[in-house]
Amino acid sequence: MLLRGRAPCKCAHGAVTGYLVVLDVLGASWPWARPKLPPQPAKLVVNGILFGTLALLGEGLAVAEALGMSRQAAYQVLGDTPLAAQVERRAATIDRGLYPRRFPLSPARKAPALIAEFASQSGIDVPLMEAAREWLARADGAGRGRQDYTALIAQILQTAAATRR
């Protein structure tokens, strides 16, 4: 089937239905109708949310430390938030300060860059994903590019400790 199971869509003004799907399948690009979709959109969404979650966890821990909370107390408090699963998964790694590489931080920066590009083309403001992108860039710039992408948490904690008054 020509449409390959994709549902018909409308352009931004609702004037055209169904045609864009056919044209997309045929390989036509219509930037006036909608921004070009990035490759593997679901993966980009998941990665964007993951990096944002890790950055939020790192910043939360940095604030907790600045407020004088122990790391364990911070983990306990964060364990009652939507970050609980990440706290449970990442606490030992954060405490050891070792980020064994599963997926290196440098290439992990590609997903947030694609998200930023697509968001810009779409007119979507994504400041939280931009913040995660910036933390990944800082971590890479600090020499953490070969470490696991979760080393962005270490970068956040190190930056906060160095700038704390």
Query: Stretch 135-148: mean pLDDT, rounded?
Result: 96
pLDDT for the residue 34: 52
What's the chain's average pLDDT? 82
pTM: 0.74
- The share of the chain scoring above pLDDT 70, in percent, equals 76
Q: Which helix (H) or strand (E) holds 48?
A: helix 41-66
Cα distances (angstroms) measured from residue 133 to each of 11, 36, 110, 126: 30, 21, 9, 11
Cα(159)–Cα(56) distance, integer angstroms:
14
Domains of the chain: 1-34 (no CATH), 41-163 (1.10.1040.10)
pLDDT digits over 25-72, tens only?
A: 434 444 444 556 556 888 888 999 999 999 999 999 999 999 999 999
